[in-house]
Structure 1
Amino acid sequence: MTSQDDFDSDSIAAVKPNTKDRHLAAQVEALLIVAAEPITADEIAKLVGVEIPFAVEALGCLEEFYEQSRRAFYLAHIGGGFQIRTRPEFEGVVKRYVDFNYSDRLSKAALEVLSIVAYRQPISKAQISQIRGVNSDATVRLLLDKGYLEAKERDSGPGQAYLYRTTKLFLERLGLYSLDDLPKLDGYVPDARFVENLERTLILDREG
């Protein structure tokens, strides 16, 4: 049986993209667009229901298409997986858009997720969503982009979901030396006063 090790990120360059299955390539592209973290060829193959070589070939087709058409994004090889990223030459205009349209003020949902992770880490997105009672994927992705969360490990159980932790930046923003300095709270979710203090601290840090 073919393993993921036989088709690592370096093998993509050796694949001649000649597949005529545009639907497969579109499926793979859709996964790359919505994935919050790099996704492996093995994971892609399982999700779209094909053998790994076909997933690798589709990735090769997309990579070549992005390069030849000089799209604003490219297929990055990261940590054994693949992710669509904006080309470095467009960072300036993207940053101007982000600065113009968004502030560092976090939404209630973001503060809620951040509080849950702070007290229950390491924790998966499914567990976060279960505690909140709503899907939290987009909110987790936002906090990853802002640098308050990171996912550097996987659950050992079925599916091997990514586990999320707060970052050093999170501690710095709150003026904490370690997670041991967090207020001691009962239950799974911190009380409203902690969430309000968290929001106030992040805003004051940005203004100061």
Structure 2
Amino acid sequence: MTLNDNPKWILEGALLTSDVPLSVTTLRECLDKRYTKTQVLEFLAELRADWQGRALELREVADGLWRFQSVPAMRDILRKLHPEQAPKYTRTVMETLAVIAYRQPVTRGDIEKIRGVTVNPNAIKTLLDRNWIEVIGRRETVGHPELFATTRQFLVDLGLNSLQDLPSIGPDQEPQVEAFELFEGQNQTPESVTRVKDRSALKAIDDEHARLEDLIEPLDFGDDDDASQEKHPE
């Protein structure tokens, strides 16, 4: 059997050698559009089943993108090969991201109201530079403040298929800490995590902040931390 006779081999090769997740449209191009999107999705489902129980798994992320990634059990092993630490972010950055992710779209004023302190401009800049958030418009109120929302890259880096895969933060359904481990090439969201159903449960966001803090190595932002922001708000 030749390569052209087995579309799954072609899809497997394309996905394993790609540096970025691939869409079904792109994967159809690899197959010279000889198959429909439905057929390509069927091949992907078969390919995912073929790789079950191995060190890599095929996952759908960012609502329609596909990639191979290591399974959680490989995490400690891979760290031995790549001992350098993944980038970590301050509590301010993480809390700002959490507010945007769960309340989006939000303004700086919304973030300040929830967190109780003036928004650190470096936190917003860090998230914009990381391409985890973007400005999607302006609110029709006095001053027309910018509205922030998360990006598709945010979903890709966390290994999420959609925002509905964000862990629930209701008081009766605490998410696992690993669900918020933000780094390039996030392995996956634990299967046990409950999808967000009730947005009113976001009142428990302060409880989640304590969990997030364990994942953070502070970055040097000079003297524009929350403490100085509270004393000298913009």
Using structure 1 for the length normalisation, give the TM-score.
0.43
Using structure 2 for the length normalisation, give the TM-score.
0.38
